[in-house]
Amino acid sequence: MSALSGLRIAVPRGALLGETLDVLDRLGVDTAEVRSNDRKLLFEDAGIVTMRPSDVPTYVEAGAADIGITGKDVLVEQAEREVYELHDLGFGACRMILATVEGPDPAEEALRRLGMVRVATKYPKLAAAYFERTGRQAEIVEVKGSVELAPLTGLAEAIVDLTATGTTLRENGLVERETIFEATARLIANPVAHKLKAAAIDDLLGRVRAG
């Protein structure tokens, strides 16, 4: 039996990968092959399947993975997913923010003049919910690439995006106007696996909490 006690874990590629693998190392999982192979996606012996962070809840909800690690930003955007959030892992800290170009706030100006602001984001659901919750009208423009480009080209007055240091914002002449929430990496589980494999998941969770 592997260090994961027969569980399959969905692991996020990208910014969260290194610290996720560090957690698994501490649990006794051999992550050497994952670290050395950028192209392989499924590591059966280790019980690891790797994917984009935004795909982790999809695989966990469907039972293709019993547990997974992804950012809180993904979980908020995909709030409809039937997954259990088990633990705040504490790493990958960043903020979901509202930003505009420097100087007088063009988002406030648009709201004052037009009663509506255009907001570009990779997180359309959470952005829409945030503006609705704060009582402001917003036209949400979903973009897939560099969201910082939107206010520089006139596509939108503001952006909703994730930032860790704010460097990319500053380099593009943007400033943070509002913090929507703080995001860190979270451990999630498939609800059925949480019942059928309760002993294994509880053991894993206990070892994660123990550090």
What is the predicted pLDDT for the residue at 1? Answer: 47
| pTM of full prediction above 0.85 | yes
CA distances from 98 to 54, 58, 117, 159 (A): 20, 27, 12, 6
Q: Which residue has the tokens 């080209």?
A: 153
What is the predicted pLDDT for the residue at 211? Answer: 79
What is the predicted pLDDT for the residue at 122? Answer: 97
Question: Domains of the chain by range and CATH?
Answer: 9-92+184-210 (3.40.190.10), 94-182 (3.40.190.10)
Tokens (6 digits) for 86: 């088990």
What is the predicted pLDDT for the residue at 192? Answer: 98
Rounded to whole angstroms, how far apart are CA atoms 105 and 107? 5
pLDDT in tens, the chain (211 residues): 467 889 999 999 999 999 999 999 999 999 999 999 989 999 999 999 999 999 999 999 999 999 999 999 999 999 999 999 999 999 999 999 999 999 999 999 999 999 999 999 999 999 999 999 999 999 999 999 999 999 999 999 999 999 999 999 999 999 999 999 999 999 999 999 999 999 999 999 999 999 7
What is the predicted pLDDT for the residue at 65? Answer: 98
Give the Cβ contact number of residue 18 at 10 Å.
12
